[in-house]
Structure 1
Amino acid sequence: MASPSFFFFFLLVTATVAAVILCPPAAAAPKEHLVTGLPGFHGASFPSKHYAGYVTVDETSERSLYYYLVLSERDPATDPVVLWLNGGPGCSSFDGFVYENGPFIFEPGSSPAGSLPRLHLNPYSWSKVSNIMYLDSPAGVGMSYSLNKSDYTTGDLKTAADAHKFLLKWFELYPEFQSNPFYISGESYAGIYIPTITDEVVKGIKKGVEPRINFKGYLIGNPATDADYDMNSFVPFAHGMGLISTDMYEGVKITCHGTFWGNVDSLCQEKIDRVHWELKDLNKYNILEPCYHRPDIQEALFANSSLPLSFRRLGETDRPFPVRKRMAGRSWPLRLALKYGHVPTWAGLGGRSLPCTNDELATTWLDDEGVRAAIHAKSKNLIGSWELYTARKDFTHDTGKIVLYHKKFTSLGYRVLIYSGDHDLCIPHPKTEAWVKSIGYKVVDRWRPWFFEDQVAGYTEGYDHNLTFLTIKGAGHAVPEYKPKEALAFYSRWLAGETF
């Protein structure tokens, strides 16, 4: 006769087998999305695994969003999962992958001319401390697409809803990451994308939508937020940085009564246009960096100006476009977007290319069919050429006051970091700091420098409810591009919950 301990052991084994059958272990990442190699990279192996592919958010039109995931080089099982979004609206997040915080540094290929770029490991990739995923959003941007072109008529709210659908399906594909802390990050017009996506995520969490996203907060660089702050900052910042004379500043300030954007009279608008004209040859995305404006772009920028045509054409040149490393980027007509709602494309404004931008390396690489096959992206025959900033979409800015979103999420306990490159003339940091202060929280860490390698790297101020503002000294609109070491430093510290 068997002993009681044997029966107990038998029952335990039986129960364990039944549990495994009824509740099998979570599936691993989809093998068909694994990236096993990349044209242009000749290293022995990647420091961590890469996955890429499509998630369909609408079966009827086959509206599909493309992602590229780089697992953490440290501990992918426990490190945060961070979503990265470039702005625009209409900029591919491969912008960030190629030129900012991605796993590689891209260099021009050797002869013959036109060969693929060479890829070297980036020592300051954000994958050093996190699983980072680059998402092309909305459909029609980058590698994302729809078979129904009417899907390319969209706006902030539809973009946010689609991104939430994407995340839910993505976490079903990658159940091993459902318990990891999840953050959303990005820059520029992602200042609109991220709060609206967060709203969808938070509402889903409250409703108990599965899979449950372990959302912890977000960080946004040089964010488009509120026109009354963002657009009113251009003239005072230009004067503060020594880009226009005190006489010019005082003249426009008196004429415009301190308001430099919006429904102003014709005399005020003319003075504002003159300021823009004086700064037309600057790289507005980093005033320390070189820039080249082609005449057709100048014509597009000033097409609706109140300045006389003869004045607008002063200084036009016919210099050939230089072949060089991309300088700035993230060029989007934000003033028009926030003023009128509808966001025109550069093609619609009459320009043939983006100001301050040479995206040759990214375009050469991403338009190569061998690269597309390696990263599981659709061919050019189906979805067209890759574009840094696409003219395919018809986009409308259709949200309310974004500052209210930030107050809502911080009051709910989510962590928020707003950071600014302090030489960005597109969205100058003083007005970003101003709207952060306008939320009304108590200062718990007064304005002070933060350090990297024993040098002042910028300044920071902390507020109640896990809200932090940070500047990066010498950086422009795209902080990780201009200050990669410092960017990885503050990113790592913030994710770890450390002070700056």
Structure 2
Amino acid sequence: MARVSSKHSDSVFYGYSNINITVLLWALLSQIWPQPVTCRSTLEFLPGFHGRLPFQLQTGYVGVGESSEVEVFYYFIESENNPQEDPLLIWFSGGPGCTSFVGLASEIGPIAFVDQEYNGSLPSLVLRPQSWTKAASIIFPDLPVGAGFSYAKTEAANQSGDWVVAHHAYQFLRKWLMDHPEYLSHKVYVCGDSYAGIHIPAFVQEISYGNENGVQPLINIQGYILGNPITTRLEVNYQITFAHGMGLISDELHESLQKNCKAQYANMDPKNLLCLRDFQLFQELTAEIDHAMILEPAFCGYDNLRVLSPRNSLMKRSLTQKVKANNFPSKCRRLGYTQETYWANNDHVRKALHVRKGTVGCWKRCNSDINYKYGINSSFYIHANLSAKGYRSLIYSGDHDMVCPFSATQAWIRSLNYSVVDDWRPWHVNGQVAGYTRTYSNHMTFATMKGAGHTAPEFKPDECLAMLKRWISNEPL
């Protein structure tokens, strides 16, 4: 499906332009490397999309684990620009347990669902002009096991966790590259957002260790990109100041929270009744706001009801009644998520995607029922290790996200104590301020996305594509 380049600036076959050399070396090395457990299909049509797909789409499975007991489903979309030279991205959604289709259909892929309420028919798909495939080829694997269409063959293999995801992702990428040798010399960047901020650095670190130990095939890893990433698991400590700065809570409540909780909300003392009282009031005041995008209402569903304390059942009942009474806008962004669910659970869609029958029951956008072990308390030190090895990183934050506020991300980056190369300044797209950025000496760039929420490309697709193109080209934002 993919075309092989005869010229790669970082090619392991540097100095040779004859593609037969690549094919010959691959044939020889394949006798040494274990054969990958893969299955793939090329798609020309998708249910819900009118006409032939104007891009190259592949779906398939890659077996990972000790005996390939986990089958990782993936989508692969070839670059629409220059697939012979453009980098290879691998994208992970958050959760943990969200399918990579979240990133494909809602954020950075070439297709999107039509913005309309679900009417019972198969949801319609249209092209997204700001797809990141305008600058790169992208793999979207469903990890951890239980996310999307990935599945386990045994009950024991149905268990996952932070380190398991990193290990499975490494196995997946190695086997995928062995099955797609034309991409062996391409620059590789690992990307994702939200909870992926925990296991992506671990995954990149595993690639690095594998390369250092000569594990074949060597992966041409260059760096990683993270959006609004969970990093220290202490991000909630910055929600209060963020909410105060955005005018969501009063000066008096902010001062009381700072005093009674001592700015520590992640691990509150259950005996500190004053702190618990103040934090409960904060939750109630922000319960009708989408924490992932504070300019939007929470009541496109029941997403934010879970933030309320179980003790405040009266408040929760009141908010639930408002949802059922349709006192809030019926057409909002989160309602569009339901179209993904209806689409992916359609039999014709599954057949078109070549999903194996009987392996996955009800497809969920984010599967909260997976058996998952939280093994990485903080990815902070992994960032430091990767920077010391020279890997590039781009960390961006939608500045209207209260789940993982930009101030929380700024705080851990500041704690790395890197010297500043290019100090805080605005960056522009189409002559307008797209956000603010700062570049550090250890190959790290931080950027805010003005007016974006937790999944920035969903809100600011033009700006995010411009950011990607500049960064992978080693240009200033």
Establish whether TM, by shorter chain, passes 0.5.
Answer: yes
Kept after mapping to 2: 8 A contact 1:141/1:392:
no
Q: Shift of residue 66 of structure 1?
A: 1.0
Identity of aligned residues (%): 37
Cα-to-partner distance string for 1:187-208 (whole Å, 9 max, x where unaligned): 0001012111112111111111
1:360 aligns with 2:341: no
User: 1:46-61 maps to which residues of 2 (within 5 A)?
Assistant: 46-58=53-65, 60=67
Q: Decide which moves more: 54-63 or 132-141.
A: 54-63
Q: 2:104 aligns with which of 97, 100, 105?
A: 97
Q: 2:87 aligns with which of 62, 80, 94?
A: 80
Structure 2 equivalent of residue 333 of structure 1:
none
Task: Give the 3-state SS of the residue equivalent to 2:467 in structure 1.
Answer: helix
Cα-to-partner distance string for 1:450-472 (whole Å, 9 max, x where unaligned): 00111111000010021011000
Structure 2 equivalent of residue 38 of structure 1:
46
1:375 aligns with 2:353: yes
Structure 1 equivalent of residue 219 of structure 2:
213
Cα 1:126/1:139, change in 2 over 3 Å: same
Q: Shift of residue 62 of structure 1?
A: 3.1
Q: Decide which moves more: 307-316 or 474-483.
A: 307-316
Cα 1:249/1:67, change in 2 over 3 Å: same
Q: Shift of residue 317 of structure 1?
A: 1.6
Q: 2:444 aligns with which of 467, 471, 476?
A: 467
User: 1:364-443 maps to which residues of 2 (within 5 A)?
Assistant: 364-379=342-357, 381-443=358-420
One-letter identity of the residue aligned with 1:317: Q
Q: Distance in 2 between matches of 1:231 and 1:63?
A: 34
Kept after mapping to 2: 8 A contact 1:160/1:196:
yes
Structure 2 equivalent of residue 317 of structure 1:
321
Task: Give the 3-state SS of the residue equivalent to 1:419 in structure 2.
Answer: strand
Cα-to-partner distance string for 1:193-228 (whole Å, 9 max, x where unaligned): 211111211111111111110000001000000133
Task: Give the 3-state SS of the residue equivalent to 2:55 in structure 1.
Answer: coil
Structure 2 equivalent of residue 290 of structure 1:
297
Cα-to-partner distance string for 1:149-185 (whole Å, 9 max, x where unaligned): 3323221011111111111100011110010000000
Kept after mapping to 2: 8 A contact 1:461/1:469:
yes
1:249 aligns with 2:254: yes
Q: Shift of residue 389 of structure 1?
A: 1.1
Kept after mapping to 2: 8 A contact 1:73/1:129:
yes
Cα 1:94/1:18, change in 2 over 3 Å: closer
Q: Shift of residue 42 of structure 1?
A: 1.4
Structure 1 equivalent of residue 16 of structure 2:
none
Query: What is the aligned-residue RMSD (CA, Å)?
Result: 2.7
Q: TM-score, normalised by structure 1?
A: 0.84
Q: How many residue pairs get matched?
A: 449
Q: Shift of residue 105 of structure 1?
A: 2.2
User: 1:441-456 maps to which residues of 2 (within 5 A)?
Assistant: 441-456=418-433
Structure 2 equivalent of residue 494 of structure 1:
471
Q: Distance in 2 between matches of 1:215 and 1:102?
A: 21
One-letter identity of the residue aligned with 1:240: G
Structure 2 equivalent of residue 118 of structure 1:
124
Instruction: Structure 1: give runs of 5+ residues left out of the alignment.
Output: 1-15, 329-356
Structure 2 equivalent of residue 349 of structure 1:
none
Kept after mapping to 1: 8 A contact 2:226/2:394:
yes
Q: Distance in 1 between matches of 2:384 and 2:76?
A: 30
1:62 aligns with 2:40: no
Task: Give the 3-state SS of the residue equivalent to 1:359 in structure 2.
Answer: helix
Structure 2 equivalent of residue 236 of structure 1:
241
Cα-to-partner distance string for 1:100-130 (whole Å, 9 max, x where unaligned): 111112116899x421122221110000000
Q: 1:261 aligns with which of 258, 263, 266?
A: 266
Q: Distance in 2 between matches of 1:317 and 1:302?
A: 15
User: 1:90-169 maps to which residues of 2 (within 5 A)?
Assistant: 90-107=97-114, 113-169=119-175
Write out the 4+ residue segments of structure 1 that deviate beyond 4 Å after TM superposition. Answer: 16-27, 29-32, 108-111, 293-297, 307-316, 321-326
Cα 1:108/1:59, change in 2 over 3 Å: farther
Q: Distance in 2 between matches of 1:183 and 1:443?
A: 23
Kept after mapping to 1: 8 A contact 2:248/2:286:
yes
Q: Distance in 2 between matches of 1:31 and 1:142?
A: 17
One-letter identity of the residue aligned with 2:472: L
Q: Distance in 2 between matches of 1:19 and 1:188?
A: 38
Kept after mapping to 1: 8 A contact 2:300/2:329:
no
Kept after mapping to 2: 8 A contact 1:61/1:146:
no
Q: Shift of residue 488 of structure 1?
A: 0.5
Instruction: Structure 2: give runs of 5+ residues left out of the alignment.
Output: 1-18, 31-35
Cα 1:195/1:325, change in 2 over 3 Å: farther
Q: Distance in 2 between matches of 1:460 and 1:297?
A: 30
Kept after mapping to 2: 8 A contact 1:295/1:317:
no
Q: Decide which moves more: 398-407 or 135-144.
A: 398-407
Q: Distance in 1 between matches of 2:307 and 2:92?
A: 26
Task: Give the 3-state SS of the residue equivalent to 1:382 in structure 2.
Answer: coil
Q: Decide which moves more: 381-390 or 236-245.
A: 381-390
One-letter identity of the residue aligned with 1:139: V
Task: Give the 3-state SS of the residue equivalent to 1:100 in structure 2.
Answer: helix
One-letter identity of the residue aligned with 1:91: C
Cα 1:105/1:323, change in 2 over 3 Å: farther
Greater C-alpha radius of gyration:
1
Structure 1 equivalent of residue 285 of structure 2:
278
Cα-to-partner distance string for 1:262-306 (whole Å, 9 max, x where unaligned): 1432321221121011100101001112330767962x43355xx
Q: TM-score, normalised by structure 2?
A: 0.88
Task: Give the 3-state SS of the residue equivalent to 1:217 in structure 2.
Answer: strand
Cα 1:318/1:149, change in 2 over 3 Å: farther
Task: Give the 3-state SS of the residue equivalent to 2:149 in structure 1.
Answer: coil
Cα 1:242/1:125, change in 2 over 3 Å: same
Structure 2 equivalent of residue 331 of structure 1:
none
